[in-house]
A and B are shown apart, each in its own frame.
Chain A
């Protein structure tokens, strides 16, 4: 208990003088934001509220992967 308090105080002292990292602006949070908005607006459908849905874009991506594959090698 005393040890953890001591180490947490040392950590605070060190981090006070460390350079703050800039937030990672390169990450695209669009999809997460869209899922968040859908979850807020959706009423009744659990799949929409949990972000479990497939858009036209998702289906076209999957279609490309699947239709280019051959199950039977000639």
Chain B
């Protein structure tokens, strides 16, 4: 029994540390702290205290919906939820960035500057669909999956500013060429009028 508790504590420690690392990673990626993940770690701490001190449930306030007779298991589930919540915000932020990018350059040939754009966009669409299918109550089961989504979208999002720069340069060159063509036509028309 004690061995089981020790093993569970080790697992909780591992998940808690991973959740903290992801929280920091997400904070740096999005430029803000994810409060839901911090709350989940608080609940994990509460369950752990309850398990270690043998305190009855009514003495500690807990607003979570994970009901498990074993507080160690509940603490682990809350750590997994914290991992999910830590990356959910940045994933949505990266998807929004991609959405804005697509809206800004909808009339431009993006593939000429961003060769695997279509593959990345398809990937983003699939990630979005997967996120929509994950219910709030079962998010602890998808903690490791969403970490992979975070890495994929972070890679795409970090390239977007450079792609924007290149596309803007292309647009300004195209605009310049259009203007030269128009001036040329106007000068030709002027020449014809003068001759007449």
Contacts and interface: CB of A to CB of B under 8 A. Distances in A.
A72 interface: yes
A56 B36 contact: yes
Given A54-B35, A59-B89, A47 B27 contact: yes
A71 B102 contact: yes
Interface string A31-74: 00000000000000101100011111011001101110111100
B45 to A, nearest CB: 17
Interface stretch (B64-72, B90-98, B157-165): B90-98
Interface residues of A, number: 19
Contact residues on B (Cβ < 8 Å of other chain), bracket: 20 to 34
Contacts, number: 58
B99 interface: yes
A62 to B, nearest CB: 5
B124 A71 contact: yes
A66 B102 contact: no
B128 interface: yes
Contact of B122 (A59, A67, A69, A72): A72
Q: B-side binding surface: helix, strand, loop or mixed?
A: helix
Contacts of B93: 62
B33 A72 contact: no
B125 A70 contact: yes
A54 B131 contact: no
B46 interface: no
B15 interface: no
A59 B102 CA distance: 21
A67 B128 CA distance: 6
Contacts of A67: 128, 131-132
B31 A71 contact: no
Contacts of A52: 31-33
Nearest to A70: B125
Contact of B34 (A54, A63, A65, A66): A54
Nearest to B31: A52
B83 to A, nearest CB: 15
Given A45-B33, A56-B35, A71 B99 contact: yes
The 5 closest A-B pairs by CB, nearest first: A52-B32, A53-B33, A47-B33, A71-B125, A62-B92
Interface of A: 45, 47-48, 52-56, 58-59, 62-63, 65-67, 69-72
7 contacts: A47-B27, A62-B89, A67-B132, A69-B99, A71-B99, A71-B102, A71-B121
